[in-house]
Amino acid sequence: MNTSAFAALYPVLSRLPQDLAGRVVSEAREITVPAGAVLFDEHQPCQGFPFVLAGAIRVLKTAANGRELPLYRVLPGESCIITSSCLLGHADYNARGVAETETALVLMPRRLFDELLAQEPFRDFVFHLFSERMAELMTLVEEVAFRKLDQRLAGLLLGKGKVVHVTHQQLADDLGSVREMVSRLLKGFAEQGLVRLGREQVEILDPARLRQIAGT
């Protein structure tokens, strides 16, 4: 493990007592998984607290019909609040975590997580993550509950440059919808002259109109 890179991504380690910080490095397990690997799934027990070193973890809820609702992404320097809540509540996972790309992480054992919670710096780190993620999840709830899918799709396409390299399935996954519905909306956007559809890409032709749709 590159301890200096680990400490640079998670400066909370430098604020812990030296013996505890050393135990995090010595007792935690470093793993690397390929893109698409399921790191945890619903109803599975939580094995430890993850520190992401490289790559990204996509956390989502799945329905019985196979539809997925993305909740948030965990990037280097961050951690997963669903994992934290499972550890704190001694409960199983209630969501799925999938590696977006090849992902390297350090998994800290549950017993050490419990010990570190007694330390104010680590406790503050965990609850700050809760605060940030709860704000993101509240925004997601508002998006799903109060905005139509065409508004959300228009908003998702904006801000990604003139040409968005993405598949219809990826857009559907990001929106918590199904590919067929997203493809239908994109076709409608194309017929209105708002976008031009290509192979695994969407070219933005009328961003002003898309902004109007996103904001209505």
When pLDDT is cut at 50, 70 and 90, the band that residue 173 belongs to is confident
- β-strand pairing of 103-109 with 68-74: unpaired
For the cut 70, the answer to whether the pLDDT of residue 1 exceeds it is no
Residues 98 and 125 in one domain: yes
Q: Residues 42-82: pLDDT tens digits?
A: 999 998 999 999 999 999 888 777 777 788 889 999 989 89
Beta bridge partners of 188: none
Residues 138 and 151 in one domain: no
Residues 29 and 101 in one domain: yes
When pLDDT is cut at 50, 70 and 90, the band that residue 195 belongs to is very high
For the cut 60, the answer to whether the pLDDT of residue 216 exceeds it is no
Mean pLDDT of 92-96: 93
User: Are the C-beta atoms of residues 124 and 60 closer than 8 Å to each other?
Assistant: no
CA angle 125, 102, 107 (to 5 degrees): 40
Query: Which CATH number goes with the domain that contains 208?
Result: 1.10.10.10
- Over pLDDT 90: what percentage of the chain? 57
**pLDDT at site 194:** 93
Residues 10 and 97 in one domain: yes
Residues 163 and 62 in one domain: no
Domain enclosing residue 70, as ranges = 3-145
**pLDDT at site 144:** 65
Q: Which domain-ending residue is among 145, 160, 189?
A: 145
Mean pLDDT of 3-14: 89
Residues 136 and 171 in one domain: no
User: Are the C-beta atoms of residues 95 and 43 closer than 8 Å to each other?
Assistant: no
- C-alpha dihedral (154, 134, 37, 3), degrees to nearest 10: 120
When pLDDT is cut at 50, 70 and 90, the band that residue 147 belongs to is low
Distances (CA, A) of 168 to 9, 50, 59, 129, 201: 34, 31, 19, 31, 9
CB within 8 Å of 48: residues ≥ 6 apart: 28, 29, 107, 108, 109, 110, 113
When pLDDT is cut at 50, 70 and 90, the band that residue 176 belongs to is confident
- C-alpha dihedral (75, 79, 85, 86), degrees to nearest 10: 90
Structural domain count of the chain: 2
State the chain's mean pLDDT as an integer: 88
Residues 116 and 23 in one domain: yes
- As given in the structure block, the two tokens for residue 158 are 């904006």
Residues 12 and 114 in one domain: yes
When pLDDT is cut at 50, 70 and 90, the band that residue 145 belongs to is low
Residues 141 and 165 in one domain: no
- As given in the structure block, the two tokens for residue 88 are 């704190």
Report the range of poorest mean pLDDT among 101-105, 144-148, 149-153: 144-148
Query: Which CATH number goes with the domain that contains 69?
Result: 2.60.120.10
b/e 100-135 (16+ beta carbons within 10 angstroms → b): eeebbbbbbbbebbeebbebeebeebbeebeeebee
Q: Which domain-ending residue is among 85, 116, 145?
A: 145
**pLDDT at site 143:** 66
